[in-house]
Structure 1
Amino acid sequence: MGCEIDVLVLGGAGVDTVVRVPELPLPYADSYLIDPGIVTRAGQSGDFVALGLGALGLRTHHVDLIGDDPEGELVRALHRHRGIPLTAVASARGTKRAVNLVGPDGRRLSLYDATRAGDGDPLPEATVRALAAASRHAHVVITQPFAGALPALRESGVTLSTDLHDWDGISSYHEPFALAADVVFLSTTALSAPERTMRSIAARGRARIVVATAGAEGALLLADGELTHVPAAVPPGPVVDTNGAGDAFAAGFLFGWLSGDDPRRCASYGAVAGAYACTVPATRADAVSREVLLAACG
């Protein structure tokens, strides 16, 4: 079939209801007046990675389980509007959804609807194999049932990446993703010893590169056994929301990696993309352009 797709993104399609709160943690009260308003929009981890890659000029295709519900239509509309092909496998559980509480400093608390996640809906292996056969690379979001797709993806010969988000380095749920991917992203948020965890991922799995993001403190990059610190990029505007910053970092990094750039430059791309994402209000889904990214990195 040939490589018609640069990056196949698997999983992570959904809808967030964004609520601006006066502070986090939010003190108990009978009620709060929310200004500016409460907004529901499409965009979860896989959506943000797909949007980021598409904005950087990569041919991107997204596949996930989507319900026949209002949330599913929001996801479909987002992809139509951004020109990102979407393979929507029918889900009886419904489209994934969450509530994001966003503080004045841009920090976020996410409440995920667990009734719309799990192993109940099958993912046709034939669909995964057909899409993988047309792809250069696959980015797998750690939502189910995509752990089950990892063997077929590996057999297809595509390179793999994944984002473990706030993994604590212990939970067994994340391990299939961590050990199957060639490029692994994660956050330092829940790690007591980031370097140890990163080296363990590389030693036990297939990862050639492991990146641990640390927000305003930058990121740690493990490549070819060498650990280096990558400084955070200066945001091009006020920081209003950190939602999607890690997904943007992954998109920027993969843009460089698939272009053949060295890992340090890839991480610089990721830092710039992540910083840009922090300036985008939670009520919008947006990503840095290729022109802006290249100009910022020199």
Structure 2
Amino acid sequence: MELDVFVIGGVGIDTIVRVPGLPLDDVETIHVEPVESYVGHTGHGVALGCHLLGLRTGLADVIGDDEEGYRIRKLYDDLRLPLHVAFHPSGTRRSVNLVTPDGRRLALYDGRHPAGLQVDPDLWRTSCAQAEHVHVSIMDFARQALPDALAWGCSISTDLHDWDGRNDYHKDFATAADIVFVSTSALTLDAVDWILAKGRARLVVAMAGADGSYLHFTDRPPQHIPAIELPDRPVVDTNGAGDAYVAAFLARWLDGVSWYDAAVAGSIAGAWACGSRGTHTDLITAEELAARSRTLG
């Protein structure tokens, strides 16, 4: 089966705790709303988002042979989404995300897997050979897949999340990708220039939340894409908004639209995701994205 987008790494379980504010008060007990958990994390958000936007999508990852891993496998079976997994005794990644009433979040991430984890490359090689585009999450094991994606001639993207521009961990991903997504939350002023100078990137997309996003190129000034507000979907939870942006950006870019139009689609999808509680519980569909795009146009 040929794939439009193949995602390597980044599925796990999110537990969402709704808190009255951040930082938390220094008290012994805080009463909260019912605690919920979801299949989530960054690679899953991109894979599910692309799937709902009509792309043939698959994902490969290392998970645990545990209750959380079973839940992931069952969801992908139910969605009929190709999932390739390797099991590791450390278990399935988890995160506890504290979410405020205005949608802000603090993620307590439990990556579990040991540093330097080596994985049989058969986990991703066949699908890389069948994919038009590969999105590589910044799981440590996934850096092993970068040479294979490059060898097969796939276009590559990655999301560096809250990279500070200095941490060496992210640099393999930053220099291998054609499209680099990164949050501005901790980004240094010279980090984007470093990516464009040292790597293969044709574009760096700096995502700035309520300030929108910025497209950075090697041969022209940066371009700002304002954030989009959907009046009928006020912000209640920012979990997964960045992944929704990435998925819609890739879907439209693979359709052949301009960088700018792809970024606008990403902004719509990110705003849509912020209007639903939980992680990746209500990502935008191709039909809804087209309708919202017409309204804005």
Question: Where does structure 1 lack aligned partners over 5 or more consecutive residues?
Answer: none
Per-residue Cα deviation, 1:221-276 (whole angstroms, up to 9, x for no partner)? 02352211001111341101111111111001101111111100010011001100
Contact 1:216 1:232 in 2 (8 A): yes
C-alpha displacement of 1:123 = 1.8
What is the count of residue pairs matched by the alignment? 292
CA contact 1:117–1:143 (8 Å) conserved in 2: no
Instruction: Report the equivalent of 1:156.
Output: 152
Q: State the TM-score, normalized to the length of structure 1.
A: 0.94
Match of 1:22 among 20, 23, 47: 20
Q: Report the counterpart of residue 194 of structure 2 in structure 1.
A: 200
- Please tell me whether residue 180 in structure 1 is matched to residue 153 in structure 2: no
- Following superposition, the deviation at residue 72 of structure 1 comes to 0.5
Residue of structure 2 equivalent to 1:145: 141
Which string of whole-angstrom CA distances, capped at 9 and with x for unpartnered residues, describes residues 15-71 of structure 1?
A: 011100011111121112112x11122111111111100000000001000111111
Contact 2:40 2:279 in 1 (8 A): no
| Residue in 2 that maps onto 1:169 | 165
Deviation track 1:67-121 (CA, whole Å, cap 9, x = no partner) reads: 111110121122223221111111121111111111111011111124x123364
Match of 1:239 among 235, 238, 241: 235
What's the secondary structure of 1:18's corresponding residue?
strand
The whole-number CA distance in structure 2 between the counterparts of 1:134 and 1:192 is: 36
Aligned to 2:224: 229
* Counterpart position of 2:91: 94
Q: Do 1:181 and 1:206's aligned partners in 2 also have CA atoms closer than 8 Å?
A: yes
Contact 1:219 / 1:232 at 8 angstroms: preserved in 2?
Answer: yes
Q: Is the Cα contact below 8 Å between 1:41 and 1:74 reproduced in 2?
A: no
User: 1:173/1:120 Cα in 2 relative to 1: closer, same or farther (>3 Å)?
Assistant: closer
- Aligned to 2:107, the other structure's residue is in SS state strand
In structure 2, the gaps of 5 or more residues are none
Deviation of the 1:284 alpha carbon = 5.5
Opposite residue 228 of structure 2, the aligned amino acid is A
Structure 1's consecutive aligned runs of 4 or more residues displaced over 6 angstroms after TM superposition are none
Partner of 2:266: 270
Please name the residue that 1:216 is paired with: 210
What is the match of residue 130 of structure 1?
A: 126
Give SS of 2:140's match: coil
Q: Does 1:41 align with 2:38?
A: yes
Q: Offset at 1:281?
A: 0.3
**Deviations 1:139-164, CA, capped at 9 Å, x for gaps:** 00001201121111111111100000
Q: Percent of counterpart pairs with the same letter? A: 46
Give 3-state SS (helix, strand or coil) of 1:65's partner. Answer: strand
**Aligned partner of 1:293 among 259, 277, 289:** 289
Alignment counterpart, residue 29 of structure 2, candidates 13, 28, 31: 31
Match of 1:56 in 2: 53
Letter in 1 for 2:287: E
Q: Which amino acid aligns with 2:122?
A: A
Q: Matched residues in 1 for 2:160 and 2:5: separation? A: 18
What CA distance in whole angstroms lies between the structure 2 residues aligned with 1:8 and 1:285? 21
Residue 289 (structure 1) shift: 0.6
CA RMSD of superposed structures (Å): 1.4
One-letter code aligned to 1:282:
G
1:87 aligns to what SS in structure 2? strand
CA distance in 1, matches of 2:280, 2:166: 34
Tell me if 1:85 matches 2:82.
Answer: yes
Shift of 1:203: 1.3
**In the alignment, which residue of structure 2 is the partner of 1:10?**
8
**Higher alpha-carbon deviation: 23-32 or 279-288:** 279-288
Letter in 2 for 1:26: L
Relative to the length of structure 2, the TM-score reads 0.94
Q: 1:256 aligns with which of 248, 252, 256?
A: 252
